[in-house]
Structure 1
Amino acid sequence: MTHTLDQLQISLPSPEQRITPDWKNAERLQIWVKRDDLIHEVISGNKWRKLRQSIRYAQTNHIQHIVSFGGGHSNHLHALGYVCSALKIKLTAIVRGHYHNNDTPMLRDLKAWQADIQFVDRKTYQLRDDDAYLAALSQQYPNAMFIPEGGSSAHALTGVSEILRELRQTYDYILAPVGSGGTLAGLIAGASAQISDKQANIIGIGVLKGQDYLEKLVSNLLLKQALGPVQQANWHIEHGFHFNGYAKTTPELTAFCQHVNHTLGIPIEPVYSGKLFWAAKKLIEQNTFAKDSRILLLHTGGLQGARN
């Protein structure tokens, strides 16, 4: 039996929802949320956007084994694990850290989906983009397809860029969280390919300590798409809202996420979407955006990563 992408029942396009938050100066603007968290109950948000073209490539080329990387709470590995299980593709997940006696909810799901989980120490994990290390893994797993951490491959940019073609209106600013760089690079690539007198300014919200590092990740992904600096849309990354590191939070941020969920009916978590909404609130309070600007927040899902 052939297993196809259609059986995953992905719900696209995701809706654009107007919000009126109780933030200082918010009434001066039009604020919308692209609800990619509603794409699928498991393969949420940008994870499906970044995986779709890779999975299509694997199926077209009859690849039956995928190897990828992530931490013990990885949204990417979680989505990939579900997809591989549904489509009967073997997954080897190379996981940073040793969780042999301390399973996370994500790892329990991967085990239930029959993934092959290989734990490595942090020093080894740092080699995940090293050519020699990947060559050795290729020998260990012959005929496997490798997908980078976070799903941020060249294939990912094509999938993410489709977001812009779905939009029902134009925006002055598009804000998105940045972790592995693929989502921001895909938005930039999509905007750069548009024929329009007015392109949106694309603002990434860094969710980890990564000034210069995140910019390099994004630029390298764009180079693989042969997008030179002159052609690129206007973009930058804000680095003041990471709360001291990836997956780091504070009681204030946690309370803010709960408040957004309660007042706006939009579930957010402190790893990705919470920092995006927090950054938007602070930038709006600082009058960063001109009056009557249209602002779109890209909700990239990832809610499973907040499970305990």
Structure 2
Amino acid sequence: MRLLMLGGTEFVGRAVVDAALTRGWQVTVFHRGHHEPPPGVAVLRGDRTAADGLAALGRGEWDVVVDTWTGAPSAVRDTARLLATRAQRYVYVSSRSVYRYPSAARLDEDGPLVDGSPDAGEVEYAQAKRGGELAATAVFGGRALLVRAGLILGPWENIGRLPWWLRRVARGGPVLAPGPRELALQYVDARDLAAWTLDAVERGLGGPYNLVSPAGHTTMGELLEACVRVTGADADLRWVEPERIAAAGIEPWTQLPIWLPPGELHDHLHQGDVSKAVAAGLRCRPIGETVADTWAWLQSIGGEPPQRPDRPAVGLDPETEARVLKG
């Protein structure tokens, strides 16, 4: 198989490239040159935000294009149109954020969606992802696969969520652990996303798929306890109820990455129906493996994770954590 990866040097794109190379696929990476491409790939350079940024894609044929773009949907539109006669399939890595909020628990792919346009410029995240879906589908029709991912974890993460928890636990001492301990989490390891996506391409699947683990695949307790275990830190998890966290003015998801208190937003992000993807072969590794491999990767790069410039840094400052634990 001949894969054109748009991006491919970080996180999800890197996981897709690594999985494709392992299968013996021929991989071409199209990127801006800000990071080193993985070894073993052909490289094309370009900037999708520039007037002539797609020039390097003017020639070549591929069996599949994988696109993780999050910016203006018009960039997906332009790329898809350029490749319409030279690529067999188009995979757009979208997001479950395309579902209109609030959504009921166990929402499947037929749930109500936010408005979006394939011709839009810079818009909010949900509208950007929906516009990207519409752009890919407008050109490739049933040959477009829409991978609606939720929370993504694993090695090469450049958002900072799991790396922040690992580094915080590694410092040891009392750790503010947001409860309840048994709170169910729904996520996907980037490598499991990559494996499922390439399998789906080989099977000729198209249309939308929610791609996260089944609801309850792990819990907040299991995740943080795995962090303690793999770091070997002298950390004491202090479980704090959601009410105390809210009273302290601490923001879920950003100041306490991954965590959302029970309620409407938690149901929206951690209770999706993924039966369609599971029936199509989705398999999710245990949380302990994701945590251990992410820690090993962090160690291998000196402990300082990369940070996407278009995303704010996450995490709770030590002073606020100490104040809440003391109170």
Shorter-chain TM band = 0.3 to 0.5
Q: TM-score, normalised by structure 1?
A: 0.35
| Structure with the larger RCO, 1 or 2 (CA within 8 Å, 6+ apart) | 1
Larger Cα-atom Rg: 2
